[in-house]
C-alpha cells in the first residue's frame, strides 16, 4: 500500500515542473496583440505629431488632439518641465511612424475616453497595415508603460517594456549610463539609434 500511495505523489511533482517553467519563459516573451477589424472603419489623417505620445488628427473635419493610451514618453512640450532625456528621439520616432499617414482610433473599454486636458484617449493603429502604435513605441524603447490608470492592455504593455529593457532598446540603452563629459560620444550613439528609426518606415520593418 505504501508504494501505491507514493506513485501519484511523484507523478504530480513531475507535471508541476513544466508548468512553472512555462510561466518563467512567457513572462519575458513578446505578447501577441490582435489587430481589430477595421474593414468598416474610417481612418483619420494625422495632421501633426506633438511629441512621442500625443498627436493631432483630422476626424470628420475636426482637429482632435489624441493622447496615446497606456504609454508615457520623455517630455519635450511640457509647459513646466524641460526637455527630458530621449524626448526628441521619441518624438522623432512617432513622427517617422505617422507623418503623412492615416490612423484608426480605438477607445479603451476599461479606462476614460477624455483626459483632464481635454485630449481624446485612444489606442492608435496605423492604416492600412494595422500597426499598433502605442505598443510599438514601448517595444522599441521610446517610452514606458503608463500604469497609473487602468487600461485594457496594461499587462501586455508591461511585458513589452520588460522586453525593451532587457534588449536595451532606445532610452533603455547603454547611452543612458555614459558620462555627461563625453557629449560627442553620446551624440554619435543617439544618431545611430535614429538611423534605426528611419529605417522603420514600412510595415515589413518589424521582425
User: Which residues are designated catalytic?
Assistant: 67, 75, 119
Quick check: 145 and 128 in contact, CB under 8 A?
Answer: no
* pLDDT tens for each residue of 98-121: 999 999 999 998 889 999 999 999
pLDDT at 13 over 50: no
Half-sphere exposure of 180 (CA within 13 A, CB side): 1
Q: Is 194 helix (H, G, I), strand (E, B) or coil?
A: helix
178-190 pLDDT tens trace = 433 333 443 434 4
Rg (CA), the chain: 21
Structure confidence at residue 14 (pLDDT): 28
Between 205 and 174, where is the model more confident?
A: 174
Instruction: Give burial (CB, 10 Å; 0-12/13-18/19+) of 148.
Output: exposed
Sole residue written with cell 513605441: 137
143 φ/ψ angles, rounded to the nearest 5 degrees: -175, 170
**Domains of the chain (ranges, CATH numbers):** 44-199 (2.40.50.90)
DSSP secondary structure letter of residue 172: G
What percentage of the chain reaches a pLDDT higher than 70?
A: 66
pLDDT in the model for residue 87? 80
Q: Which residue has the higher pLDDT, 20 or 25?
A: 25
Amino acid at each position: 500500500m505504501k508504494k501505491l500511495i507514493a506513485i501519484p505523489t511523484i507523478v504530480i511533482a513531475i507535471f508541476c515542473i513544466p508548468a512553472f517553467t512555462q510561466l518563467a519563459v512567457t513572462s519575458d516573451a513578446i505578447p501577441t496583440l490582435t489587430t481589430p477589424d477595421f474593414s468598416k472603419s474610417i481612418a483619420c489623417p494625422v495632421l501633426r505629431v506633438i511629441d512621442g505620445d500625443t498627436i493631432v488628427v483630422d476626424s470628420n473635419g475636426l482637429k482632435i488632439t489624441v493622447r496615446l493610451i497606456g504609454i508615457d514618453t520623455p517630455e519635450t512640450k511640457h509647459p513646466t518641465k524641460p526637455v527630458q532625456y530621449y524626448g526628441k528621439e521619441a518624438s522623432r520616432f512617432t513622427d517617422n511612424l505617422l507623418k503623412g499617414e492615416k490612423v484608426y482610433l480605438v477607445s479603451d473599454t476599461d479606462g476614460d475616453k477624455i483626459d483632464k486636458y481635454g485630449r481624446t484617449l485612444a489606442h492608435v493603429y496605423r492604416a492600412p497595415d494595422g500597426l499598433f502604435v502605442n505598443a510599438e513605441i514601448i517595444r522599441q524603447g521610446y517610452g514606458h508603460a503608463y500604469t497609473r490608470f487602468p487600461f485594457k492592455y496594461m499587462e501586455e504593455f508591461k511585458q513589452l517594456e520588460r522586453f525593451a529593457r532587457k534588449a536595451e532598446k532606445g532610452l533603455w540603452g547603454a547611452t543612458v549610463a555614459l558620462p555627461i563629459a563625453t557629449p560627442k560620444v553620446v551624440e554619435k550613439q543617439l544618431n545611430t539609434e535614429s538611423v534605426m528609426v528611419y529605417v522603420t518606415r514600412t510595415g515589413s520593418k518589424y521582425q
